[in-house]
Structure 1
Amino acid sequence: MAVVGATEALVNVSLDHSLRFEVTGNDQANRSLLGMLEVMPEQPFNETISAFCRDKALATETCARLLDSIRQEASHEWGCALEASDIPFVELSVGIDNRFETLQVTHEHDVVVEVTRHCRAWRVKAADCFQLVRAVEQQAATKFADTARMYKERLRFTSPVRSRLYPRSERVYVEVDWIDDAAGSREDVCLFADDGGAIYCGALPLPEPVFFVAHTPALGAHMVYVTSRPSNTTSNDGGDVLAAVHFEIVEPTVELLQINTAVHDGNKTFLNLQIQTQGFRLEDPAHRVCILHGSAYVCLNSPNLLVEQRVLNAETNQPVTVFRAPVFNVNSGAHEISVLLLNEHNKCFALAGTYAVDLELGPDMEVLATDDSFIAHPVGRSPRRPAQCPSALETAQLGWICQLYEHEWGLFSQNGEDGVLQAIFNHIGVQHQFYVEFGTETCRECNSRFWRERFGWTGLLLDGSFANATINLHQAWITAENINDLFAHHNVPKAFDLLSVDVDFNDYWILQAIQLERFQPRVIVVEYNSHVPPTEPRTVAYQPQSGWDGNSDYFGAGVAAFYRWGIRAGYSLVYCESHGVNCFFVRNDDLKGVNVSALLGPEQLYAPPNFFGRGYNYSNLAVTDGNWVWV
C-alpha cells in the first residue's frame, strides 16, 4: 500500500489551530482511505506522522513521503512555511540515481535519526549516509547553535559509540535501550545493520549479546539503527526510525620511529620514544597506548604525552599522530621495546615492531624512577591472582608466576593469552619454536598465531571443520582414540614448546589421552569451564562424536579437574586468565623442578565467567541436565 496523497479535510479554527487530513493510498489500481490524520502545531511533525505510520503499518519510504506532503500542506495553512519563518533549518539537495531529493532538518529533529530515516527511504548506502550525517551536522551546529532542541530522545545506543574509531579486529557490540522507563513507553522494535535486513526484532534490552557482524567487518563507515515494529504485523521490515548511530571501522597502525636516551633533573636517565599512530585517537578513554618492555607492559596516561604532530591522512581520512612517551627504570644493558595499542578489555589491535637498545649509564648517571602521572591504571586491568604470593615461590625464584596477571594482552589470541605466554617463555626460555594447537577454526584468532607470525615458529594446527595448507592447518575430528595417531602422522616431535587445547567439549579426555612419553609439551593452554566452581573436579562425560550445544554451560571441565590431571602428569597450574576461558600449565621440569601445584591451587587461580570481558556467561542448564564425571 503506497500513499497517494494527503488532502485537507477540515480546518479547526479553535484555539489549538489543528489540521485534519484524509490520507489515501492505493493497492494496485484501487484508491482507499487509510484514515484521518490530525496535526497540531505544538506537536512535532515527525512524532505525529511516526505514530500514524506505526498504527497503519506503513513502510519507511511511504512514511517519509507522507511527512513531506503533510509538512507542505500545514506550512501553507498556518502561514509558517519554513523558508519564510524564524525556525532555523538545514536543507541539502542529495543526488541519488540520476535524481535529486531534498533533505530538510529543523531543530525539531534528531539530526542523526532524521538523516538515517531518509537514507533508508532513499536506499542510500551506509558509507554515503555517514558522509551525509556529517554534512548536516556541520551545518546544524551553526544554524541551531542558539536554538533549543525540540525532539525527545526515547532510545539511546551505548554501543557502538559515535566518536570512537573501531579497530577491525575488535568485536563491535550493539547495546541499545529505552531512556524512559515509564509504563507504556516500551514496544517491540527491529534492529538493522548497514543496508541489510533486520538482525533482531523483539523487546529491549537485547536478550543476548549482539555483534555488529558475526565476523570481521569491512573497513569504513557503518550504521546501526532501531525502528518501530508495527503491532498489527509480524513483518521484520520495521517501521519508523527511532534511534541510529553511525561509526567507523579502521585498521590502526603503530610505529616506533626512534628511541633516544634523555636526561631529567641533571643526571636521571630514561628512554624517550617517538611513536606514530594512524587510525587511533589518543583522547579516546576506551583505548590506550602501552609500552612493552621485555615481556612487561605499562599503559600510559595519554593526556600527559607530548604530541608533536596531528594530521589527517589524505587517502584514508584517518588521524595520524606523532608523540613522545617515556620509559622509566631503565638500567644499563640490552632492552627490547615495542608499543601496543589496547582496548579496555586488553585486546591488542596494533603492535609495533620490536626495537633493540643497548644502554650504558655513565658513572654519575642515575635511573629515573617511574613518574606515576604518566601511568594509566585502567579499570579493565586484570585482577591480581593469586591474591597473595607464597613465599616459597619467591625463594625458588618463581615469583614471576604471581605477576602473570599483569601481562594479559592479546593480538591474535581470543583474550590475553598472547601476553601471558610471552611472559612465561620470557622466564623459562624457548627451546624448540614448535607448537601444536587444535580446535583453532581458521586460526585467525588462536594462541599460536602470534608465535608463528612474530617469531617464526612452526607447528601443527588441527580443526574439525577447517583446513589451510599454507599454515599447516589440517581438518580432522579429534578424539581421545586418535589424538596420538594424528600427532604421529603429522610428525609432531617428542619435545615441543606449546600445546593449546580448545575443542569446547571433550578437552579433558583428549588431554588425558595424550601419551606424554611420546609427546611432551613444555607449556599447555587449555580451555576450561569457569561455570564449574574451583572446588569441584568434574568434567562432561566423554562423548567422542558430540560437542557443545553452543547455548548451555554443559561443556568441558572445571579448573579443578585439569589441576588434578596436572598433578598426575607432572604439570603445574600457573594461571587462569581473567575472562574465565583458558588456564595455563607448565611442566615442572621447566619450573626448576618445583611442584607449584603444591603451593597454588585452583581456588587461588580460578577466574569466573567474564566472556568478552563484559561479564557474560551461559545459561545454567548443565547442573541438572548434564552428565558429569568427577575425576
Structure 2
Amino acid sequence: MKHWFKNLLKDKFLVFKVRDRWSASVQISQRKLYLKYQEQLKTNTLSTISETGFRVFSQFEEDGMLLFVFSVLGMPHKTFVEIGSDDGINSNSANLYFNFGWHGLFIDGNSKSIKRGRKFFSKYPHPWFYKPKFENAIVTKDNINDLINSNGFNGDIGLLSIDIDGNDYWIWEAIDAITPQVVIIETHREFGLKNIVVPYDANYTYPGKHPLYNGASPVAMVNLAKKKGYRLVGANALGFNFIFIKNGLADDAIPEVSVASVLTHPSVAESQKGFDDIKDWDYIEG
C-alpha cells in the first residue's frame, strides 16, 4: 500500500475520532452535567472539583473540572485566551469552544502548529462555525498584552490558560489586558513545597539548560495568584495544572484548597527526585 494512502486512512481515522468529541451525545451529556451542577448548587449538595474531571479535548481531566467550575460560575464571558496552545485541538479551551460555543485566541510559538490549527478549525465542525483566532508568536512579558489586545481581547474573559514550559509565571504576572474568571496554569511539582521561581529569560526556549529549570513551584504560583486576586481551587490528578478562580466568584461554593492537598498523587514524590540535579541553581522567591 502506498505511503500517501496509508496517511490518508490514518488522517481520516483521526478526524473521525476527533469529530466524535462534539457529537450530539457528547454535547447532551455535558449539558446534563451543567444542569446537574447548577441544581446541586441550589440544594447545597455540590460535588467537589476533584470528583468532576474527564477528558474530551484536554491533555488530562481538565475539561471536566472546567465544566464544573463554569457550571457554578455561569458563562457570562464565553471567551478564552490560551497561551502555549500548540494547534488548539488538544487544549484546555477546545471543549468550551466546540461544545459550549466559546470564542477565543490561541497563541503558540510553533508556526507549524498554528498552521495546523488554523486548517483544522477552518473545517470542523463545519466551515461556517465562528472561528477562534490564532497568533504565532514567542510570548514575552513585554509583548503579551499587545498580542492579546491586537487580537481584539480585553477586559473580562472566561478563561486564561498558560502552558509554555518556560516563563509561565512571568507571563501571568505581566498580563493586565484581560481579567479572567478562571486561570489554569502549569506549575513545577518537581519543586515540591519550596517557594521558588526560575529567573525570567526572554530568550528561553525549552528545554534550555535543563528540562526542569523553568517555571515556578506550586507554592510560588499560588503566591502570585493571591497577589493578582485569585485562589487555588484544584488541580489535575497529577498535580501540575493548577486551577484558580478570581476572588469574589463562588467563594463559598468552590472554596480555596491548600497546595499540599493537590500534590497527593504517588508520582509527585517520585518526580521531586529530579530536582536534585538543579537544587543549587539560581532561584527567586515567589
TM-score by length of 2: 0.75
Cα deviation 1:17-54 (Å, max 9, x = unaligned): xxxxxxxxxxxxxxxxxxxxxxxxxxxxxxxxxxxxxx
* Structure-2 change in CA distance of 1:618 and 1:487 (3 Å): farther
Query: Is 2:166–2:206's contact at 8 Å kept on the other side of the alignment?
Result: yes
Shift in Å, 1:462: 0.7
Q: How does 1:106-121 map to 2 (within 5 A)?
A: none
Q: Work out which of the residue numbers 434, 438, 441 in structure 1 matches 2:86.
A: 441
Q: How does 1:458-469 map to 2 (within 5 A)?
A: 458-466=103-111, 467-468=114-115, 469=118
Query: Is 1:552–1:622's contact at 8 Å kept on the other side of the alignment?
Result: no
Partner of 1:415: 60
Q: Work out which of the residue numbers 160, 172, 179 in structure 2 matches 1:520.
A: 179
Cα deviation 1:57-88 (Å, max 9, x = unaligned): xxxxxxxxxxxxxxxxxxxxxxxxxxxxxxxx
Query: Is 1:408–1:419's contact at 8 Å kept on the other side of the alignment?
Result: yes
1:537 aligns with 2:192: no
Shift in Å, 1:620: 3.7
CA distance in structure 1 between the partners assigned to 2:281 and 2:201 by the alignment = 12
CA distance in structure 1 between the partners assigned to 2:31 and 2:87 by the alignment = 31
1:560 aligns with 2:219: yes
Instruction: Describe the SS at the equivalent of 2:76.
Output: coil
* Structure-2 change in CA distance of 1:525 and 1:622 (3 Å): farther
Cα deviation 1:92-140 (Å, max 9, x = unaligned): xxxxxxxxxxxxxxxxxxxxxxxxxxxxxxxx999xxxxxxxxxxxxxx
Instruction: Describe the SS at the equivalent of 1:295.
Output: helix
* Structure-2 change in CA distance of 1:609 and 1:552 (3 Å): farther
Q: Work out which of the residue numbers 273, 278, 281 in structure 2 matches 1:626.
A: 281
Shift in Å, 1:444: 2.2
Partner of 1:424: 69
CA distance in structure 1 between the partners assigned to 2:273 and 2:90 by the alignment = 21
CA distance in structure 2 between the partners assigned to 1:585 and 1:447 by the alignment = 14
Question: Rg bigger for which structure?
Answer: 1
CA distance in structure 2 between the partners assigned to 1:605 and 1:292 by the alignment = 25
Partner of 1:476: 137
Q: Work out which of the residue numbers 65, 83, 101 in structure 2 matches 1:456.
A: 101
Q: Work out which of the residue numbers 582, 592, 602 in structure 1 matches 2:259.
A: 602
Partner of 1:294: 32
Query: Is 1:480–1:509's contact at 8 Å kept on the other side of the alignment?
Result: yes
CA distance in structure 1 between the partners assigned to 2:165 and 2:265 by the alignment = 17
* Structure-2 change in CA distance of 1:425 and 1:507 (3 Å): same
Instruction: Describe the SS at the equivalent of 2:56.
Output: coil
Higher strand share: 1
Q: Work out which of the residue numbers 151, 156, 159 in structure 2 matches 1:495.
A: 156
Instruction: Describe the SS at the equivalent of 1:526.
Output: strand
* Structure-2 change in CA distance of 1:484 and 1:403 (3 Å): same
CA distance in structure 2 between the partners assigned to 1:293 and 1:492 by the alignment = 27
Gaps spanning 5+ residues in structure 2: where? 123-131
Shift in Å, 1:453: 1.2
User: RCO higher in 1 or 2 (8 Å CA, sep ≥ 6)?
Assistant: 2
Cα deviation 1:416-469 (Å, max 9, x = unaligned): 110000000011111111000010111121111111111221111111113345
Query: Is 1:413–1:445's contact at 8 Å kept on the other side of the alignment?
Result: yes
- What residue identity is the alignment partner of 1:218? K
Query: Percent identity over the alignment?
Result: 25
Instruction: Describe the SS at the equivalent of 1:486.
Output: helix
CA distance in structure 1 between the partners assigned to 2:253 and 2:244 by the alignment = 13
* Structure-2 change in CA distance of 1:450 and 1:609 (3 Å): farther
Gaps spanning 5+ residues in structure 1: where? 1-123, 127-193, 195-216, 222-249, 258-274, 276-290, 297-333, 337-393
Instruction: Describe the SS at the equivalent of 2:248.
Output: helix
Higher helix share: 2
CA distance in structure 1 between the partners assigned to 2:207 and 2:262 by the alignment = 27
* Structure-2 change in CA distance of 1:481 and 1:593 (3 Å): farther
* Structure-2 change in CA distance of 1:624 and 1:452 (3 Å): same
Cα deviation 1:122-163 (Å, max 9, x = unaligned): xx999xxxxxxxxxxxxxxxxxxxxxxxxxxxxxxxxxxxxx
* Structure-2 change in CA distance of 1:426 and 1:496 (3 Å): same
Query: Is 2:54–2:63's contact at 8 Å kept on the other side of the alignment?
Result: yes
Q: How does 1:271-350 map to 2 (within 5 A)?
A: 294-295=32-33
Shift in Å, 1:484: 1.3
Instruction: Describe the SS at the equivalent of 2:75.
Output: coil
Q: Work out which of the residue numbers 526, 539, 546 in structure 1 matches 2:204.
A: 546
Q: Work out which of the residue numbers 147, 165, 169 in structure 2 matches 1:504.
A: 165
Shift in Å, 1:609: 7.7
Shift in Å, 1:627: 2.3
Instruction: Describe the SS at the equivalent of 2:166.
Output: coil
Query: Is 2:88–2:94's contact at 8 Å kept on the other side of the alignment?
Result: yes
TM-score by length of 1: 0.36
Partner of 1:245: none
CA distance in structure 1 between the partners assigned to 2:60 and 2:137 by the alignment = 25
Instruction: Describe the SS at the equivalent of 1:590.
Output: coil
Partner of 1:201: none
Cα deviation 1:292-325 (Å, max 9, x = unaligned): 67338xxxxxxxxxxxxxxxxxxxxxxxxxxxxx
- What residue identity is the alignment partner of 1:549? P
Partner of 1:585: 244
Shift in Å, 1:621: 5.2
CA distance in structure 1 between the partners assigned to 2:274 and 2:251 by the alignment = 42
* Structure-2 change in CA distance of 1:256 and 1:445 (3 Å): closer
Q: Work out which of the residue numbers 23, 38, 49 in structure 2 matches 1:404.
A: 49
RMSD (Å), alpha carbons: 3.6
- Aligned pair count reads 253
CA distance in structure 2 between the partners assigned to 1:440 and 1:609 by the alignment = 28
Partner of 2:129: none
- What residue identity is the alignment partner of 2:188? N
Partner of 1:31: none
Shift in Å, 1:604: 2.0
Shift in Å, 1:538: 1.0
Query: Is 2:56–2:95's contact at 8 Å kept on the other side of the alignment?
Result: yes
Partner of 1:189: none
Query: Is 1:412–1:450's contact at 8 Å kept on the other side of the alignment?
Result: yes
Instruction: Describe the SS at the equivalent of 1:531.
Output: helix
